[in-house]
Structure 1
Amino acid sequence: MINHSRLIWIIFLLLAGFMLYLFFQTTTPQDQSRRAESQIYVSTSKVQSALLTRKVDALGTALAYDSARIVNASSDYLIELNIGEGQPVKKGDLIARFNDLEERARIAELKALMTEQNRQLARLKNLTRTQASAQSLLDEQQAKVNATRAQLDALEARLNELVILAPFDGVLGLRQVSNGAYLATGTELTTLDDISKIRVEFNIAERYLAALQTDMVISADNIAYPGFAFQGKVKAIDPRIDPVTRSVKVHAVIDNADLKLRPGMLLNVHVELAKAEVVQIAEKAVMPLQSKHYVFVVGAEDKVRQVEIIPGQRLPGLVEVISGLKVGDEIVTEGSQKLRTGVVITRSEP
């Protein structure tokens, strides 16, 4: 009986030990797994400063250095037209002449009349030396001469309006009228553009205004000439900032002696600003979210917090930080997908 009872206790103890063994075997891996999951491994780095040659990119529009619409100032018949479409002209070259026969005849008539009036005026001047009564006649004759002179000046001005000369060196545009047509005042005959130089108009964000100066070097490229860069310089900076876009308008000039560039072309403009010491981080640390950008900063007790930054110029693998970080901050560069503010991180082995 005693042996039987002892056997039962032995069996009970063995069974209890087996149950404890099973318990520890089943719970220990789960606890270890939970502890492993609670540790988030990330890579971090310190924010550093770097000397950066700031380069600003913008979209620009090519404009003629000088441009004019050639229109007539008076209504009349077109009797001579010298518009070689797309051909160069020099300043002062004849572009068009209108019917001026009536004006020339009237000018000849007035010149003859003035000659006679001036002869009468000279005779009266001699009389005033001996006859005081001749002074009133002299004044009357002088008034006639002045009136005729005024009519002659008006007709000569009218005659000049009937001749259109090139106001500057340039290239003529397409012809819009035909020789012999009667044209109303203000009718466009053609266009004239000086494209030996090209003005490039583009906008730069106001934060670069302090670094922007005239005579800075720019380069520009266009889809029509892949791989080719046009060189120029900044010539003018608008004194006003656009209150809507918060940008400043800039004009640069590019030499165009080979006439490759044409007014209206879209140009990719690159402006090289002065070198500056900037805050720079690895591009992989930046997390874009909608229109904003964030990084995780490591704080006390290895807790992270999400910080918004404003990125600037980008280089391969690197990005400038305009605001949001300072030199010496520790940021997460890899493994930020599982993070949120307040999480404690564990640094990965290098």
Structure 2
Amino acid sequence: MAKLHSKLIWVILIALLVFVGYLYWIPSQKTDIRRDAAVVAVSTAKVETKPMIRSVNSLGTGISNNSIQLISPTSDFVTELNIREGKAIKKDEVIARLHDVEERARVTELEGILEDQKRQLDRLKNLATTQATAQSMLDEQQTRVNTTLAQLDIAKAQLAEMTIRAPFDGYLGLRQVSVGAYITNGTVITTLDDLNTLRVAFSVAEHYLADISVGMPLTVTNAAYGNISFNGKVSAIDTRLDPITRTVTVHGALPNDDLRLRPGMLLHVKLELDNRQAMQISEKALVPQQQKQFVYKVGADNKVTQVEVKTGQRVPGWVEILSGLEEGDEVVVEGIQKLRSGVTINRVGG
């Protein structure tokens, strides 16, 4: 019986020792957990200086630098056509001629009359030096000469209308008439487009008006050429805004020597408003508080400090830093919600 009591006492002592050990072990585990919890896993990035490009996107339409319809200025038969569809033509080259026999005859007739009248005028001028009565005849003859000159100018203009010439260098469109056809005043013969420079017309919201100026760079893309970009510059800005859409029409000029761009194309325009070097961080690093912006800056001991920053321009995903940070400083960009000043961080991810 004494042995049984002795064993029971030892069991009770061992149980007490285990219980006391457990009481000491639990607080140490909680301390370790709290210590581990104080280290927050975050992603960080460094402040860097790089180009800050602000741009605006719009849809535009391609238009020729110069574009006209060549029409007949009078009515008559077509006697000559020099239309090579889609081919280049130089300024003043003959595109078409109309039947001009009557006009040529009229010019020849008036040139002969004018020559005879000038001879008579010269004789009267000699007489006028010796005979006073010849002065009135001289005046009448001078009037005849002037009248004939005017008629000759009209006849030459009518003759010139019978020949249609290219008013500028360009590319001919499709032929609309044939040789021998009788055409009337206003009939379209073909089209002429200057394609070596293509203009693009697009609209920009009035919000950007103060940022736009002639000469600014722009790029365009078109579905026909995938991701290939065509570079150009702003050539003109309309003096008026659309009162309904509150947009301003802008024209850009694009070199097009290879003729890949054509009038009427739908073009995706990217207008570069600003391109300069600026100190930037990811927008995700910002912590807005009331009217101010803060970031968590990482120190040498991996502890973070909340720092107020002054921001400038923004582009998608990035913000310019004007003050509060230096180039090369490390800031937290992900995991901000768990942070406060003095917390130790553990970098994860990129």
**1:150 matched residue in structure 2:** 150
Indicate the SS of the match to 1:267: strand
Within 5 Å, give how 1:195-214 maps onto structure 2. 195-214=195-214
For the 8 Å contact 1:53–1:274, the answer to whether it is kept is yes
Rounded Cα–Cα distance in structure 2 between residues aligned with 1:181 and 1:314: 62
Q: 1:61 Cα deviation (Å)?
A: 0.7
For the 8 Å contact 2:52–2:315, the answer to whether it is kept is no
Q: What whole-Å deviation, never above 9, does each CA across 1:179-199 have from its counterpart, x for those lacking one?
A: 111111111101000000110
Indicate the SS of the match to 2:130: coil
CA RMSD of aligned residues (A): 3.3
Rounded Cα–Cα distance in structure 2 between residues aligned with 1:84 and 1:261: 20
**2:85 matched residue in structure 1:** 85
Within 5 Å, give how 1:300-339 maps onto structure 2. 315=316, 318=317
Q: 1:257 Cα deviation (Å)?
A: 0.6
For the 8 Å contact 2:218–2:234, the answer to whether it is kept is yes
**2:272 matched residue in structure 1:** 272
Q: 1:53 Cα deviation (Å)?
A: 2.2
- TM-score normalised by L of structure 1: 0.67
Q: Could you tell me which amino acid in structure 2 is paired with residue 242 of structure 1?
A: D
Rounded Cα–Cα distance in structure 2 between residues aligned with 1:280 and 1:75: 71
Indicate the SS of the match to 2:199: strand
Q: 1:150 Cα deviation (Å)?
A: 1.1
**2:121 matched residue in structure 1:** 121
Indicate the SS of the match to 2:186: coil
Q: 1:313 Cα deviation (Å)?
A: 7.4
For the 8 Å contact 1:55–1:313, the answer to whether it is kept is no
Q: 1:204 Cα deviation (Å)?
A: 1.0
**2:107 matched residue in structure 1:** 107
Q: 1:278 Cα deviation (Å)?
A: 12
Rounded Cα–Cα distance in structure 1 between residues aligned with 2:216 and 2:136: 71
For the 8 Å contact 2:54–2:315, the answer to whether it is kept is no
For the 8 Å contact 2:54–2:272, the answer to whether it is kept is yes
Q: 1:298 Cα deviation (Å)?
A: 6.8
Q: What whole-Å deviation, never above 9, does each CA across 1:226-253 have from its counterpart, x for those lacking one?
A: 1200011111111212111111111111
| Gapped regions of structure 2 (runs ≥ 5) | 1-48, 291-312, 325-332, 340-344, 346-350
For the 8 Å contact 2:78–2:183, the answer to whether it is kept is yes
For the 8 Å contact 1:216–1:233, the answer to whether it is kept is yes
Rounded Cα–Cα distance in structure 2 between residues aligned with 1:162 and 1:313: 62
Rounded Cα–Cα distance in structure 2 between residues aligned with 1:63 and 1:298: 50
**1:137 matched residue in structure 2:** 137
Q: 1:280 Cα deviation (Å)?
A: 9.6
Q: Could you tell me which amino acid in structure 2 is paired with residue 229 of structure 1?
A: S
Within 5 Å, give how 1:1-350 maps onto structure 2. 52-275=52-275, 315=316, 318=317
Q: Could you tell me which amino acid in structure 2 is paired with residue 208 of structure 1?
A: Y
Moved >6 Å (runs of 4+): 276-281
Rounded Cα–Cα distance in structure 1 between residues aligned with 2:187 and 2:281: 59
For the 8 Å contact 2:172–2:191, the answer to whether it is kept is yes
Rounded Cα–Cα distance in structure 1 between residues aligned with 2:179 and 2:70: 15
Q: Could you tell me which amino acid in structure 1 is paired with residue 123 of structure 2?
A: R
Rounded Cα–Cα distance in structure 2 between residues aligned with 1:269 and 1:80: 43
Q: What whole-Å deviation, never above 9, does each CA across 1:269-294 have from its counterpart, x for those lacking one?
A: 111112589999858x9xxxxxxxxx
Rounded Cα–Cα distance in structure 2 between residues aligned with 1:237 and 1:158: 40
Question: Residues 190, 102 of structure 1: CA spacing in aligned structure 2 closer, same or farther, 3 A cutoff?
Answer: same
- TM-score normalised by L of structure 2: 0.67
Indicate the SS of the match to 2:251: strand
Rounded Cα–Cα distance in structure 1 between residues aligned with 2:210 and 2:140: 69
Q: What whole-Å deviation, never above 9, does each CA across 1:41-68 have from its counterpart, x for those lacking one?
A: xxxxxxxxx9942111110111111111
For the 8 Å contact 1:216–1:273, the answer to whether it is kept is yes
Q: Could you tell me which amino acid in structure 2 is paired with residue 270 of structure 1?
A: K
Moved more, 224-233 or 239-248: 239-248
Indicate the SS of the match to 1:239: strand
